[in-house]
Structure 1
Amino acid sequence: MNKPTDSRHADEDRWWRPDRHADRRPALMARNRMMAAMRVWFAEADFIEADVPALQVSPGNETHLHAFAATMIGNDGGGRPVYLHTSPEFTAKKLLAAGEERLVCFSHVYRNRERGPLHHPEFTMVEWYRAHAPYERLFADCQALLALAAKAAGTTMFSWRGKACDPFAPVERVSVADAFARHAGIDLLATIGRDGEGDRDALAARMQKAGLRHGPDDSWSDMFSRVLVEKVEPALGHGAATVLDAYPACEAALARKSTVDPRISERFELYVCGVELANGFGELTDADEQRRRFVADMAEKQRIYGETYPIDEDFLDALRIMPPASGIALGFDRLAMLATGARRIEDVLWAPVAGG
């Protein structure tokens, strides 16, 4: 007996129907204009565009990122595991080690267990790096690209779910600690030791005092994420884009620690209309420290999800000769969604992945 079909979802999935495509086409054409304009901008700023492979020996080693696995069959018939990358980061940094200084990748990337209004299992990431540049230089890049995207899309305002943001307004910079104090009433830095590690009980006590719930088995990281998602993120990027800067050191897997305060890192995220749009770092180049972080993150991944991913040893070797650099990854589809006023990310994808 055939399984009944939900006609509403079936109609939404049929993006190839002429009427559905006609509705989506203006946003898709705006997407194309945005992509073309960004490529020109990077070229005029002396960036080299690299086309990197999606298949990697490691998809990345962050605790909550989930990859698609595959098997590579050799000429001898034997197989070995490979993964679709969750970011072009490892390969891009190898190219920095090889001598490139301004590098940009427009890459399809793949993340499992992710699907919703703001998430898709395959999406486009624009990732760029500046060797020998402070990470604050990326703030100006973000400002310029927001305005560029708006002009290309033919809009003066970004919007999502009734919220609006002026892409031409100066970007507001706020530290994570100040945002937690302002929007959740929590002194976050008081819950982080001088070694950069979070004090779970200290954060739990402050959440309880602020009237925020937490579970008995929640780690410091779990509680940090809960406050960020429930209280802080929804308040960011309204009126003007927000750079949420100086993330806790223990929440910055590939970023270097601040030289001013070991409790924080050179990591920021860009928010527009409450939507996280980009994630930037002053890049960690200490291979031994990076290995320690990968091992700790994979132990946590095993504890939570019962799986781990291998460490890319070539990547760690490349870090030893990579120059100081700053880098950022921007979700291009989210940018297109905000610039066109689309209600979900699939409305700005030429061909969404079937199912889900």
Structure 2
Amino acid sequence: MSDAINTPAEQTEDLSELLRIRREKLNTLKEEGKNPYEITKYDVTAQNGYIRESFEQIEGQAVRIAGRMMSRRIMGKASFMDVRDGSDRMQVYVKRDDVGTDEYAAFKKWDIGDIVGVEGFVFRTQKGEISVHAQKIILLSKSLLPLPEKFHGLKDTDTRYRQRYVDLIVNPEVKDTFLKRSQILKEVRAYLDNLGYLEVDTPVLHTLEIGAAARPFVTHHNTLDIDMYLRIETELYLKRLIVGGFDRVYEVGRIFRNEGMDTSHNPEFTSIELYQAYTDYHGMMDLIEDMYITITKKVCGTTTINYQGTEINMGGPWERLTMVEAVKKYAGVDYNDWASDEDARACAKAHDVEVEEGANATKGHVLIAFFEAFVEDKLIQPTIIYDYPVENSPLAKRKPSDPAFTERFEYFIYNREMGNAFSELNDPIDQRERFVKQVEAKRATGANAEVDEDFITALEYGMPPTGGLGFGLDRLVMLLTNSASIRDVLLFPTMKPLGQ
């Protein structure tokens, strides 16, 4: 047997021939009045997974299964095929004397990838494999494109993301990731619902660009003849509901940010934000730690998981450090030693930490820069970092004991920021001042940002002390499914069109 590998031109020619043959088969079926695309319904009585799990109870019973033919072994008057449905694969024994001579001849012309229906009874082969003995078979849908080669499968990641439907067909383990994603979201909802939170929906299209740092996608509303912005957060509408008297609300929201793409960022992603009246960021710390422990145990069966070769102990208690404590621990630099902004900038220079030139870099800015340079990559085990400088926390309440800091925390796992929380700012005067500074900074970059005056109005009616928390569902799924890239946990990640 030759080991020669076909050239790209030869491979293209082979594919064209396969496509031609499959279409000819379809035309023949239509001419014979057997167009599979005209079939509208097939009553399935059992899933393959159920047959495997319940074999001892249903052996010998009649079943009707349906799915995609993934392989076939023709052996004269009897053959085997593997049929995969949404739950599992099933071996099917097809005998000419049982299904009929004409049907058996037609079966031998089916192609790998065709959708088929099988009526028969459950049994175990002499080799011990649970199977279905076919008594009737039918072609339900014709596959006009061949699946990727059996033993090599679909490995090219770009093609896998673009054609997720093929990826799911030939790489069954990929489906497991998305089944687990669905389970994770279900458990998040169950956890919050059990605590009395109300799930709500807020607008995706906004009429103004707010001052937050993220860049929005812009569209145009034809009837109103105005530009609109796809949301970059759900926060401000959810806090309006707190003002309105809903004491515990959350939203599973699709978020859109017109920014960079990498292994942990996609332009559209799923965020979960929740707000609770009459608590603060310490209440949110307790909630997120307990939520992650609960969900990890339910989804993974343990609170110790392996992520990219590293053992992560989700079971707690999680380490909790102020940003000042974290920088002192990992960088050996004490914020409290800086008497002035000049001292902070000099310290940054001495440690080769980049900060803004001139007087724009305050002690708070420098602390943040030290944290990013020396701390983030050390936070492998679940860690809560709290008390952030006011300079990068425009929506958090200032600490009464030290107004240079805010009651804000982020939590990190595997040196990745997983979520963000505040004791929410409910002072409308302070909020307006911070919004104005935010908007001015964003407009300086050419953006069309505006102060959300309606949100300020809502605060002026009075918002109770509130704890708020937001986290990315996609990053949580990455963690619990041991997925290296966000694209591995999005069914249809954003991709540049082919040829562009």
Report TM bin, short chain: 0.7 to 0.9
8 Å contact kept, 2:292–2:314: yes
State how 1:50-65 maps to structure 2 within 5 Å: 50-62=200-212, 64-65=213-214
Is residue 281 of structure 2 the alignment partner of residue 141 of structure 1?
A: no
Compute the displacement of 1:122 (Å).
0.6
Q: Aligned partners of 1:191, 1:84: CA distance in 2, in Å?
A: 42
Q: Contact 1:165/1:237 (CA < 8 Å) preserved in 2?
A: yes
SS at match of 2:281: coil
Greater shift after overlay, 335-344 or 78-87?
78-87
Mapping of residues 22-41 of structure 1, within 5 Å: 22-41=172-191
Aligned to 1:310: 450
1:125 alignment partner, SS class: strand
Deviations 1:68-108 (A, max 9, x none): 1122233xxx5112211111101101111111001111111
C-alpha distance in structure 2 between counterparts of 1:67 and 1:159, whole Å: 35
Offset at 1:22?
A: 3.0
The answer to whether structure 1 residue 16 and structure 2 residue 154 are counterparts is no
Q: CA deviation at 1:115?
A: 1.3
- Quote how far apart the aligned CAs of 1:251 are: 1.8
- Which residue number in structure 2 is paired with residue 294 of structure 1? 435
Q: Is the 8 A contact 1:283 1:327 kept in 2?
A: yes
Find out whether 1:185 has 2:335 as its counterpart. Answer: no
What is the Cα deviation at residue 306 of structure 1? 2.3
Higher mean C-alpha deviation, range 339-348 or range 205-214 = 205-214
**Mapping of residues 92-171 of structure 1, within 5 Å:** 92-154=238-300, 156=302, 157-171=304-318
Structure 1 counterpart of 2:427, one-letter code: D
**Equivalent runs, 1:194-233 vs 2, <5 Å:** 199=341, 201-214=342-355, 216=357, 219-220=361-362, 223-233=366-376
Q: Which deviates further from its counterpart, 150-159 or 35-44? A: 150-159
Return the alpha-carbon distance in structure 1 between the equivalents of residues 316 and 405 of structure 2.
27
Greater Cα shift, 78-87 or 90-99: 78-87
C-alpha distance in structure 1 between counterparts of 2:339 and 2:404, whole Å: 6
**Paired AA for residue 234 in structure 1:** D
Q: What is the aligned-residue RMSD (CA, Å)?
A: 2.3
- The residue that corresponds to 1:66 in the other structure is 215
Q: Distance in 1 between matches of 2:300 and 2:493?
A: 24
Between Structure 1 and Structure 2, how many residues are aligned? 337
Q: Using the TM superposition, give the Cα deviation of residue 144 of structure 1 relative to its aligned residue in structure 2, in angstroms.
A: 1.5
The Cα shift of 1:309 comes to: 1.6
Q: Which string of whole-angstrom CA distances, capped at 9 and with x for unpartnered residues, describes residues 32-84 of structure 1?
A: 1011111111111111111111111235422x31111122233xxx5112211
Q: Is the 8 A contact 2:324 2:367 kept in 1?
A: no
Q: Which amino acid aligns with 2:219?
A: A
Structure 1 portions without partners, runs of 5+? 1-6, 194-198
* 1:263 alignment partner, SS class: strand
Determine if contact 2:274/2:470 at 8 Å carries over to the other structure.
yes
2:424 to 270, 283, 291: 283
Distance 2:441 2:234 in 1: 23
Distance of aligned partners of 1:61 and 1:191 in 2 relative to their CA distance in 1, 3 Å threshold: farther
Distance 1:189 1:52, change over 3 A: farther
Partner of 1:4: none
Q: Secondary structure at the match of 1:277?
A: strand
Q: Distance in 1 between matches of 2:233 and 2:246?
A: 18
Match of 1:272 in 2: 413
Q: What is the TM-score with the length of structure 1 in the denominator?
A: 0.87
Letter in 1 for 2:254: H
Query: SS where residue 114 of structure 1 aligns?
Result: coil
Q: 3-state SS of the aligned residue for 1:288?
A: helix
- Which of 256, 259, 278 is the aligned partner of 2:397? 256
Q: 1:261 and 1:341 mapped to 2: Cα distance? A: 40
| Cα distance in 1 between the residues matched to 2:198 and 2:424 | 19
Indicate whether 1:327 and 2:468 are aligned.
yes
What letter matches 1:328 in structure 2? L
Tell me the distance in 1 between the aligned counterparts of 2:442 and 2:338. Answer: 23
- Cα–Cα, structure 1 residues 188 and 82, in superposed 2: closer, same or farther, change >3 Å? farther
Tell whether the 8 Å contact from 2:439 to 2:451 is kept in structure 1 after alignment.
Answer: no
> Is the 8 Å Cα contact of residues 162 and 492 (structure 2) preserved in structure 1?
no
Q: 1:294 to 1:274 in 2, by over 3 A?
A: same
Name the SS of the counterpart of 2:419 in structure 1: strand
SS state of the match for residue 53, structure 1?
coil
What is the CA–CA distance in structure 2 between the aligned matches of 1:354 and 1:17, rounded to whole Å? Answer: 15
What is the rounded CA distance, in whole Å, between the counterparts of 1:203 and 1:150 in structure 2?
41
Compared with structure 1, are the counterparts of its residues 216 and 245 closer, same or farther at alpha carbon in structure 2 (3 Å cutoff)?
same
Identity rate of aligned residues, in percent? 26
| Cα deviation code 1:13-47 (max 9, x no counterpart) | 32424235634211111111011111111111111
Aligned-partner Cα distance in 2 for 1:59–1:338: 32
Contact 1:236/1:242 (8 A) holds in 2: yes
What residue number does 1:91 align with?
Answer: 237
The alpha carbon displacement at 1:148 in A equals: 2.5
Structure 1 residues 273, 213: CA separation in 2 closer, same or farther (over 3 Å shift)? same
SS of residue in 1 equivalent to 2:388: coil
Which whole-Å CA distance do the structure 2 matches of 1:276 and 1:37 have between them?
21
* Aligned: 1:337 with 2:485: no
Counterpart selection for 1:176 from 313, 323, 326: 323
The residue that corresponds to 2:126 in the other structure is none
* Cα separation, partners in 2 of 1:183 and 1:124, compared to 1, 3 Å: same
Q: Give the whole-Å Cα distance in 1 for the aligned partners of 2:222 and 2:380.
A: 47
Q: Work out the CA distance in 2 between the residues paired with 1:23 and 1:212.
A: 43
Query: Of the two structures, which has the highest relative contact order with CA contacts closer than 8 Å and spacing of 6 or more?
Result: 1
Q: Alignment partner of 1:136: what SS?
A: helix
Q: Distance in 1 between matches of 2:338 and 2:442?
A: 23
Q: What is the deviation of 1:322?
A: 1.6
Tell me the residue number matched to 1:46.
196
Could you tell me how far apart the structure 1 residues matched to 2:450 and 2:388 are?
Answer: 26
